[in-house]
Amino acid sequence: MSMTVEALADWLGGEVIGDATRVVEKVQSLSKAGPQSITFFVGERNHIQLKGATAAAILVDRKLQQTLKIAGYPSTFILVDDPKDAFLAVAEHFAPRCVRPPVGISPDAHVSATAQIGRSTNVFPGAHVAAGVIIGDNCDLHP
């Protein structure tokens, strides 16, 4: 799945500074982001980190607009109200959460009669739960 920087900016309610035609295929941290990645930057200091960035786009706070234009960074930016929230939304879009399979307690798991297993918890085949152990809700236990 891929999107142009322009489409992402429209979806996020952001404004593009730079090449809006760049294509984004994944999300990564600022230090690891490559030419097909989107990342984010927070803060008004240390924006020198942006100088060598190779990301397709960088989500930044709208308040940095003048700083970025004056500095003349070669990167493409999407100005948003909250870069972290925008990054999380984009991450969810590019890598949606997997639906957990409802396994329950497998008959091939070894669970003590005195163990307490929370609601919607999966205990997979071969997993061991000892006596007196308390497992919370929505957990996945593998061997």
Indicate the residue type of 9.
A
Evaluate whether 67 touches 39 at the Cβ level (below 8 Å). Answer: no
- Mean pLDDT by runs of 10 across the 143 residues of the chain is 94 94 93 92 75 89 78 84 95 84 90 95 95 95 94
Q: Residue 95 has what pLDDT?
A: 82
pTM above 0.75, yes or no: no
| Secondary structure (H, E, C), the chain | CCEEHHHHHHHHCCEEECCCCCEECEECCCCCCCCCEEEECCCCCCHHHHCCCCCCEEEEEHHHHHHHHHHCCCCCEEEECCHHHHHHHHHHHHCCCCCCCCCCECCCCEECCCCEECCCCEECCCCEECCCCEECCCCEECC
pLDDT of residue 50: 78
Q: What is the pLDDT of residue 46?
A: 66
